[in-house]
Amino acid sequence: MSIKVIAFDADDTLWINEPYFRETENEFCRLMESYLPQHTAARELLQTEIKNLSLYGYGIKGFMLSMIETALSISDNTIDISAIEKIIGFGKDLLARPIEVLEGVEEVLGNLKENYRLVVATKGDLLDQERKLKNSGIDHYFHHVEVMSDKQEADYRKLLKHLDIKPEQFLMIGNSLKSDILPVLGIGGRAIHIPFHTTWEHEHVDVHIDNPNFKQVTTILEVLPLLYAPTF
Ligand SMILES: [Mg+2]
């Protein structure tokens, strides 16, 4: 059965995201330096973020709250209120960053748009992801945008039901094995992995995937010859 819908992950697949979070994390750790060495503060922050994921979901606002919580905890609630103000500023700066679409994305979308229904399937904060898509200038390539609270098998099943297609008619393209690839293969869909140089520690998995529905490429431009090859 041939592919009908191609879904793209957004962050670090269509545009740059994770390096900005790492820069903000570094600023946060420098701010906390009088309490903890930078790498220890980073570890504390990661733990707080993971603990809060089920409450706040993915996105910048949750990240801001986790930075504030970490600052309070590692300073034993003694941190100056001006530091909290700085942390809120870090988050607002992150929200205001311009969107940098990755190389080759427009060319690939423009080409695929003629033959497939293209959708964005992203985790994160609804308002923030909608803003990013609007500012990216590539929103017109997509039929549908799905901001998912998580990307597990059940979430993809729901998406396919909504799109009214079978798993084998669905191809997901993304940078995270954990979120974009493994759950899609798990429900019988197809997936192309495009690794990005920076991956959030929580998204990192070490696996070898041996599945005929799976391909890995180095850049998004390689997706075109793959898709038009008769074997995929
Ligand atoms: Mg991503």
Tens of pLDDT, residue by residue over 121-143, are: 999 888 889 999 999 999 999 99
CA separation for the pair 1, 166 (Å, rounded): 9
Q: Report, in angstroms and rounded to the nearest whole number, the Rg of the chain calculated over CA atoms.
A: 19
Does residue 231 register a pLDDT over 70?
A: no
Does residue 207 register a pLDDT over 90?
A: no
Q: In the chain, list all ranges with CATH 1.10.150.240.
A: 18-96
Kindly give the distance from the C-alpha atom of residue 36 to the centroid of ligand 1, in angstroms, as a whole number: 30
Q: Which residue type sits at 211?
A: N
Specify whether the CB–CB gap between 189 and 213 falls below 8 A.
yes
pLDDT at 199: 76
Does residue 201 register a pLDDT over 80?
A: no
Kindly give the distance from the C-alpha atom of residue 217 to the centroid of ligand 1, in angstroms, as a whole number: 15
Q: Of 154, 111, 114, 155, nearest to 9 (Cα)?
A: 155
Does residue 1 register a pLDDT over 70?
A: no
CATH class for the domain made up of 5-16+100-228: alpha beta
**126 token code pair:** 């609804």
Kindly give the distance from the C-alpha atom of residue 70 to the centroid of ligand 1, in angstroms, as a whole number: 25
Does residue 232 register a pLDDT over 80?
A: no
pLDDT at 53: 92
Kindly give the distance from the C-alpha atom of residue 100 to the centroid of ligand 1, in angstroms, as a whole number: 14
CA separation for the pair 86, 82 (Å, rounded): 6
Does residue 170 register a pLDDT over 70?
A: yes
Residue 132, CA atoms < 13 Å, CB-side half-sphere: 27
Kindly give the distance from the C-alpha atom of residue 175 to the centroid of ligand 1, in angstroms, as a whole number: 5
CA separation for the pair 124, 223 (Å, rounded): 25
Q: How confident is the model at residue 97 (pLDDT cuts 50, 70, 90)?
A: very high
Kindly give the distance from the C-alpha atom of residue 9 to the centroid of ligand 1, in angstroms, as a whole number: 6
Q: Which residue type sits at 103?
A: E
Q: Of 136, 140, 143, 101, nearest to 121 (Cα)?
A: 143
Kindly give the distance from the C-alpha atom of residue 17 to the centroid of ligand 1, in angstroms, as a whole number: 8
CATH class for the domain made up of 18-96: mainly alpha
Kindly give the distance from the C-alpha atom of residue 179 to the centroid of ligand 1, in angstroms, as a whole number: 8
CA separation for the pair 186, 160 (Å, rounded): 13
Kindly give the distance from the C-alpha atom of residue 131 to the centroid of ligand 1, in angstroms, as a whole number: 16
pLDDT at 124: 84
- pLDDT digit string, tens, across residues 37-92: 999 999 999 999 999 999 998 889 999 999 999 999 999 999 999 999 999 999 99
Kindly give the distance from the C-alpha atom of residue 13 to the centroid of ligand 1, in angstroms, as a whole number: 6
pLDDT at 229: 78
pLDDT at 62: 95
Average pLDDT over residues 200-208: 78
pLDDT at 230: 67
Residues sharing a CB contact under 8 Å with residue 61, sequence separation 6 or more, in sequence order? 91, 125, 128
Predicted structure pTM score: 0.90
pLDDT at 76: 96
Q: In the chain, list all ranges with CATH 3.40.50.1000.
A: 5-16+100-228
Q: How confident is the model at residue 197 (pLDDT cuts 50, 70, 90)?
A: confident
Per residue in 105-117, is it b (16+ CB within 10 Å) or e — as a string? bbebbeebeeebb
Average pLDDT over residues 86-111: 96
